[in-house]
Chain A
Amino acid sequence: AQTVTQSQPEMSVQEAETVTLSCTYDTSENNYYLFWYKQPPSRQMILVIRQEAYKQQNATENRFSVNFQKAAKSFSLKISDSQLGDTAMYFCARKDNFNKFYFGSGTKLNVKP
């Protein structure tokens, strides 16, 4: 099955601290794309970070970085120096070699002042 699993329905973190959101997926493909999308309370999903499976180097975007473990089919998101504006629902997603994107069930992140 082409599933994406986010095992943490909800997480909390203190402002300025670091938090890691987990994601695992299932695929038999060798090349694919992985994403983390953020959905703030306004509800529009925006791209946070992406990783191409053929690249071994973990992607980073400012305070956001990933730990991509291809053999383990794991793709976690680390948010450093958490800010109040990071409060949102975070979705892990995978694109297959064709046209389809698979989304996880989401992790609700609460950043506390």
Chain B
Amino acid sequence: GAGVSQSPRYKVAKRGQDVALRCDPISGHVSLFWYQQALGQGPEFLTYFQNEAQLDKSGLPSDRFFAERPEGSVSTLKIQRTQQEDSAVYLCASSLYRLAEGGTQYFGPGTRLLVL
């Protein structure tokens, strides 16, 4: 079946520009996660949705980062006034179960963001 998809796969932005990254989770998955992966490092948690509710946004690095999942399926991660340090791969993952149930997270291919 279809996995997690993300778009765009690559994004080049000028410093100060706003960007929007899209995630289509596996159909029916309750939980959705966003991660940031810097070059040569492991993914780091950004935010978590259970259906349409954003239950944890403790990993968002600044108030320039904003995420939403208004209908409990597709999610968008928005970065305002991008900075060079925002350059990274942004990974989306979804899980069939709520976080507390410990389900496996399935990852999308990521969006590679380069801020010039």
Q: Do A and B truly interact?
A: no
| Chain A residues close to B by CB (< 8 Å) | none
